[in-house]
Structure 1
Amino acid sequence: RVQTGSTAEQAGLKSGFVIEKIDGKTVAELLAPLEKSFAKRPLPEAQKRIHREKTLLSFFGGNVETKARIEVLNDKNQRQIFDVARVKRKGEMSAAVGNFPPQEVVFEAKRLANNIGYIRFNMWIIPQMSKIREAIRSMKDANGIIFDLRGNPGGIAGMAPGVAGLLVKEQTSLGSMTGRNSEIKFIVYPQADVFEGKVAILTDYGTGSTSEIFAAGMQELGRAKVVGERSAGAVLPSVFDTLPTGAVFQYAISDYKSPKSILIENCGVIPDTEIKLTRQTLLDGRDVQIEEAVKQIKNTN
C-alpha cells in the first residue's frame, strides 16, 4: 500500500511496483540474516511474510531530511529509481499501555458505491475506539459495512467485543482465552442503536491477534462474511521480560479459542471467499478483495 499524500506517492511510487533494491542493496541481501534465522525456528509462511515486510520497512527509515533510494520494476517491467524523502511522522500517536508502546493512529472511513460503508484502521489501540464507534453510527443507513483488517496485526483484545457490540442485537461471545490459572471470555454486550446491515471483513496474511478474534468471532456468529486471504494465525497474548543479559524475552501466557472452540493459532481464520490480490490488478488500480466484499454485501439475502 502506498499511503495517500506520502512522500512515496509524491515521488511516483505506485501499488504493484516490485521493490528490488533499497539504498543500493538488493532485497535478498537485506533479508539474508532474517532468512537464516528462519532455519532455527519453524514458522507458518504467513508469519514469515510479516517478518520480511517489517524488516524491509525498517530500511525505509532513517534520518529526517535524507532520502531513501528505491529501485523497482515499474508498470512496464522496467527498472526505475525513486529518491523518497524521509520525513518526521506528524500523525496522532497512542499512549503506551503496559508493554505495548505508543503506536501511530491510522484511520479511514468513507462511503463506497452502492451505499456501502468502508472502515480501515491500522491497529486496535484506544484512540481508534471512538473513531470506529462514530463511523459505524454515521453509516446506520448504509446497505453494509466493510471492515478492512488487512495488515492489521492486532492490539488491545478487549476492543473487539466493544466493536462487535455495535453490530449485534443480542448478547453473545467472540470466544475465550485460557491461561494456567485464568480465563477471559470475550462477552459481547449489544449497545444502543446497533448497525443491523450486512457486514464483510477483509483479511490477509498480516491480519493477526485481535483482528483474528474479531474476524473469527463475527464469522462463526454468522454476522459477517470474511473475504480475502487466510489470516496470520498469530493470536496468542504475550508479555515481555528483560533477561539479565539485557535481551528481551517474549512469551505467550494463554491460548485463544473461537466461539466454536476452534484454535486459531498457526491456522488462521479461513475466509468464506478466498481471493488474492495480483500485481496486475494493483497496477490497474483495482482492489479485487474490496470488489468481492461489495459483491458479497449486494448478494447476501
Structure 2
Amino acid sequence: MVKVVKNVEDEKLEQKETQEQHKDSEHETPLKSAGYVKMKRFYFIMLIFFVIFLSAGITTFVLAFGDEKAVDVVSVERREFDKLFSAYDTLKDNYYKDLDDDKLVNGAINGMLEALDDPYSDYMNVEEAEGFHNSISSSFEGIGAEIQEKDGHITIVSPIKGSPAEKAGLKPNDIILTVDNKSLQGMSTTEAVLLIRGKKGSKVELTIQRPGTDDPITVPIVRDTIPLQTVYGELLEDNIAKVSITSFSENTSKELVETLNNLQKQGMKGLVLDLRQNPGGLLDQAIQISSLFVPEGKVLFKVEDRNGNVKEYKSNNDNGTDLPLVVIIDKGSASASEILAAAVKESANVPLVGEKSFGKGTVQTAQDLQDGSNMKYTTAKWLTPKGNWIHQKGIEPDYKVQLPQYANLPFLDPDKELSMSMSSSEVSGAEQMLKALGYDPGKMDSFFDEKMKDTVIQFQKDNKLEANGVLKGDTTIKLMENVRETLIKNDPQVQKAVEILKGQLNK
C-alpha cells in the first residue's frame, strides 16, 4: 500500500512539474524537459540516502569515540531495573507533593543494603560517612561505644575504654531503646549513631534494656572527645606488664610497638594483653599486631569468598617478640580483636583467659560513592588458622574466669534521689555496690531502710561528703567510681593471667 501511495504522489508531482515546464519553457524540447524532471527525482532520493548514511555514521562514531554518557544510556537499559524506574517515575509524576531526587536515590540504595539482612552492611549518607571516617582516623565527640543492629534492636557491642559510655556503666549486649526519648526501633546503625553522637559537653539520655533485668534503666551521659589513643600499658608486679588495646585504628600497631619498647626498658618479662571491650576495627592493623606475637610463616587467619576460595594470611613477624604472653577476652571482644585472639591461640599456643568473645566472623569493605556518601558491605568471612568460623559463636577461652556480680550492676543516675522508704531496682544496685566496697547495708531486699541510711552516711563520711544519708549527685558518682576502682584493683581475670605468666616464668 505504501508503495502505491508513493507512486501516485510521484506521478502527480511529475505531471505537475511537466505541465509547469511546458508552460514556462516554450523553447525547450519535450526530451530535455523529461530529463530535467528525472534528474530532480534522482537528487531527492540520493539526499534521503545521504541523510540516512550520515546519521548511521554519527551514531557509530559516538558509540566508538564519544562521550561516556552516550554509552551509559545504553548500559542503563537493564531489565532488572525496569520496576525500579517505574516506581520512581510513578512517584515523581503522581505523589501529592514535590520529591527530593537525592533522597529517593539514597533510599533505594539503603533499601538494597537492608534487604541483605546483614547488620554489618550499611549505607551512609554524606554526613554519616564523615562520622564513620572520623571514628577510624581521628578523634570524635560522642559517648564512645561501638553499636550494631541485632534482631531489630540497636545493641552495644562494646564501650571504649575510658569513654563516657564505659564510665556510665554501659555493657556489651545492652539494648538501646531510646535516645532522648526517641525510639530507635527500626533504625539502622548509622541513623542511631547520628542521634547518639554530639558535641563535647552536651548531654544525651539513653534508655537501656539489660539482659537479665526486668525494667529498663535510664542512663544520662555527658558526651566527650573520644581520644585517638588506643593502647594503654602499665607494669604490674614481678615485672609483668599489662597492655590494653581498646580498638584497631590507623595508628594502633605503631602505638603498641612504642608501648612495648617502653615497657621493655622498664624490665618487662611477661605480658598480659587485654582485648576486653575491644570492638575491632581495621583489618590491616590486626595483621600487623598479630604478626608481633605469631612466629614467621604461621597462619594468622584465612579469608573465604562466596565461591569458596580461601586465601591465607601469614605472619611476617616484623619486630616480633618472644615474651611469655597471655591474652584476656570477653563478650565485648569482637572482629579484629577476635582475629588476634584466634591467631595467637591456634598458631602460637598462647592461652586465653576470660569469657567467650562476641563472635563476628565476617569482613567488610567500605566504598565511598561520588557524592561523599559511603556503602559498607560484607565481602567475605574469615576463618581461624585451623579453619574454624567463629561467627555468632565466639572464641572460648582456655581459662574461663567471670567478673564479680557487681561488675554488671546497672548505672545509677546521679540526678535521681534514693532515700528512706524507697523500693526499686536502683536501691538494689546501690545495696550491692556498698556491699562490694565492704559496707553492710543490711538485708538485700531493694528497700531503703534505716540500716541502709546509716550505711550511706558512713560512706559519705569516709569520702568527705555531706552526710545526709541520701544517695544523689556527688554521693552516687563517688559510689560508682569506688566500685570501678575496686574492680580494677581486684580484677580476677587479670589476676588469673598474671598467675599463668608467673608459672611460665618460673619453669
Equivalent in 267, 273, 279 of residue 147 of structure 1? 273
Equivalent in 281, 296, 299 of residue 500 of structure 2? 296
Q: Are 1:162 and 2:288 an aligned pair?
A: yes
What does residue 311 of structure 2 align with?
A: 184
In structure 1, distance between residues paired with 2:359 and 2:275: 14
1:204-229: CA deviations, max 9, x gaps?
A: 11211111111011111243111111
Preserved contact between residue 108 and residue 121 of structure 1 (Cα < 8 Å): yes
Identity %: 22
Counterparts in 2 of 1:33 and 1:235: CA distance versus 1, 3 Å: farther
In structure 1, distance between residues paired with 2:248 and 2:404: 27
In structure 1, distance between residues paired with 2:257 and 2:330: 24
Counterparts in 2 of 1:187 and 1:107: CA distance versus 1, 3 Å: same
Preserved contact between residue 2 and residue 8 of structure 1 (Cα < 8 Å): yes
1:33-80: CA deviations, max 9, x gaps?
A: 56788xxxxxxxxxxxxx9xxx7x9876544443457999xxxxxxxx
In structure 1, distance between residues paired with 2:375 and 2:164: 36
1:91 aligned partner, one-letter code = P
What does residue 110 of structure 1 align with?
A: 234
What does residue 445 of structure 2 align with?
A: none
Structure 1, gaps ≥5 residues long: 21-25, 38-50, 73-80, 93-104
Shift of 1:126: 2.1
In structure 1, distance between residues paired with 2:367 and 2:386: 33
What does residue 257 of structure 1 align with?
A: 383
Counterparts in 2 of 1:171 and 1:269: CA distance versus 1, 3 Å: same
2:248 aligned partner, one-letter code = W
Taking structure 1 as the reference length, what is the TM-score of the superposition? Answer: 0.66
What does residue 121 of structure 1 align with?
A: 245
Higher strand share: 1
SS of the counterpart of 1:129? Answer: helix
Taking structure 2 as the reference length, what is the TM-score of the superposition? Answer: 0.42
Counterparts in 2 of 1:227 and 1:179: CA distance versus 1, 3 Å: same
1:137 aligned partner, one-letter code = N
In structure 2, distance between residues paired with 1:83 and 1:267: 32
Preserved contact between residue 199 and residue 223 of structure 1 (Cα < 8 Å): no
Counterparts in 2 of 1:29 and 1:109: CA distance versus 1, 3 Å: same
SS of the counterpart of 1:202? Answer: strand
What does residue 332 of structure 2 align with?
A: 206
5 Å-filtered alignment, 1:173-252, equals 173-180=299-306, 183-192=310-319, 194-240=320-366, 250-252=376-378
RMSD: 4.1
Counterparts in 2 of 1:128 and 1:27: CA distance versus 1, 3 Å: closer
Higher helix share: 2
Equivalent in 181, 186, 202 of residue 66 of structure 1? 202
1:293 aligned partner, one-letter code = A
Larger Rg: 2
Shift of 1:254: 1.1
1:238-264: CA deviations, max 9, x gaps?
A: 235799xxx976542112121111111
Structure 2, gaps ≥5 residues long: 1-158, 209-217, 409-482
In structure 1, distance between residues paired with 2:312 and 2:392: 21
Preserved contact between residue 160 and residue 277 of structure 2 (Cα < 8 Å): no
Shift of 1:83: 7.3
**Matched residue count:** 252
What does residue 135 of structure 1 align with?
A: 259
In structure 2, distance between residues paired with 1:198 and 1:68: 43
Preserved contact between residue 210 and residue 235 of structure 1 (Cα < 8 Å): no
Counterparts in 2 of 1:2 and 1:125: CA distance versus 1, 3 Å: closer
